[in-house]
Chain A
Amino acid sequence: MLELQGLTRRFGARTAVDGVSLVVPAGQMVGVIGRSGAGKSTLLRMLNRLTEPSEGRILAAGRDVTTMRGHALRGWRAECAMIFQQFNLVQRLDVLTNVLIGRLYHRGTVSSLLKRFSAEERAEALTTLDRFDLAEAALQRADTLSGGQQQRVAIARALMQRPRLILADEPVASLDPRNATVVMDALARVNREDGLTVMVNLHHLDIARRYCGRIIGMSQGRVVFDGTPAELTSDRVRTLYGVAEEEFHESADEPALVA
């Protein structure tokens, strides 16, 4: 179980996330929606301390995440794997090594620096890749793959961390609709088959409704909606955001950086 208490982050005078309190039970698939600048990315990045909170606490199964340092902090980060909009793979390395990077926290630094992974680790990586139909591409360089393939490699890397929680920041915003479906299916599978909690930022309401059992709506750093997909009707969207559903994601789209 994950608990956020009054989580706040300020950038100068601007409050990106403003007193967010939530309880997320284990195994839930939560969609966080909101227009561009609502604070979705900041909220997610605070959960694994890629961004430091200004105020508030994060509790994971009773442990205070906000005060962790050094080895404990890296352990927490390994526990909550992150999926990025731009995949954040090491482009010049092959797919297999990128997936093996997910195991870094669990092994010795020296053998990692030399890329000396064991046969068991390679087998686990290849099995994970095979779950997403990517075993054939294992020795290709990451930058030769399509966006949808790269995002599935990133999910495989995330699973190698043996996480309890997956944080996905706009995982499909740079993808075409077909690839977006493949990647969302992969996340849903991980949630269902591996029992992982998934928190995913989205700005397409229909994707959120289709895949997530619980939807959290954000606006100007605050939580303005927390409920089931059925409760998030078009009327509700209009009263919360002041725009019709069709307009909702238009201005939300940052231009996709990857072709």
Chain B
Amino acid sequence: MSVTGADTAAWRSARPAVIRGEEAFHAARRSRRRATLFAMAVLALCLLVSAWMSEAHPVRLAEGLPRIGEYFARILPTLHWSTLFAGTETEGSLAFWFYRIDDWLLLLAETANMAAVATLGGIVAALPLAFLAARNTAPTPWTATLARRFLEALRTVPSVVYALIFVWAFGVGALAGVLAIALHTTGALGKLFAEAIENGDHRPWDGMVAAGANWMECCRFGALPQALPSILSYSLLRFEENLRSASVIGFVGAGGIGEELYKVISFNYYEEISAIIVLIMLAVMAIDLTSEQIRHRLAGAL
């Protein structure tokens, strides 16, 4: 094997141990490079196959891209500087663009309420499940496995699928949306809570057991206090995410502003589409900012 610099005088006089070490180093590097190349080839192949199966052809992409721009151009409102602040009757004014703002704000409030109730419900259901699923607090190992699989099942199903089922069962409206988001939230938060609990120190738990506490008391005092800051933080993060889900879950009739959005999209009320999307974006941004503030405060206070 030729090693770089192997012909220099210094190299020829080097100790056998150095030579052996250098050869081993090069051999290891070669095999590592081969492994990397192989992995990249496999990855490229997989990408190509999946692109072919999902019909993501470059030609279709090139054809479709301009039409996205076209759609955006259509939903953009016509605004005129001169009449920007005129009343709802004047074309080209902000008020004309948002002429149904009162309805939309009500729907937006309903959406935020759906997200809040669903998040709360999800937290309440996720907490006990997390104590069963965390390996350090589970009463027996198989409870942990069982609870974990159950949480996985809950969060694997997208909330839209739950929503379709609940709309069928309970009829069109916010109840279906709340239940759907809450179920998905339970699965997602349960796993995160369980991990927060597992990161805790076992000593308070031992202290509780030695004091004669039962399982629930051990969870409450031996594990919960340490996990609480993470649990609050994950819950707020989930609330932000649930607000986004709640704004589209109405597409399948499960309440909130999504129903309205679906209606204006299917009827091609172009300017109303952009108005509603702007409203949703503003609401999500506002809640993101406040909840981020709260999370930072909590992290400091706890």
Contact = CB atoms under 8 A, between A and B. Distances in A.
Interface string B204-228: 1011111111101100111001101
Contacts of A104: 208, 211-214, 217, 221
A28 B216 CA distance: 34
Interface residues of A, number: 29
B83 to A, nearest CB: 60
Nearest to B219: A113
Contact of B216 (A76, A102, A113): A113
A74 B225 contact: no
A112 B217 contact: yes
A90 B209 CA distance: 12
Given A93-B225, A112-B217, A88 B212 contact: no
Interface in A192-245: none
Interface in A49-89: 50, 74-79, 81-82, 84, 86-89
Contact of B207 (A90, A105, A112, A113): A90
A92 B204 CA distance: 10
Interface in A89-138: 89-93, 101-102, 104-105, 109, 112-113
A8 interface: no
A48 interface: yes
Contacts of B221: 90, 93, 101, 104
B203 interface: yes
Contact of B212 (A75, A89, A90): A75
Chain B's interface: helix, strand, loop or mixed, by majority?
Answer: helix
Interface string A11-52: 000000000000000000000000000000000000010100
A9 interface: no
B216 A161 contact: no
B169 to A, nearest CB: 33
B211 A77 contact: yes
Nearest to B217: A104
A86 B203 CA distance: 8
A79 B210 CA distance: 9
B212 A161 contact: yes
Interface of A: 48, 50, 74-79, 81-82, 84, 86-93, 101-102, 104-105, 109, 112-113, 154, 157, 161
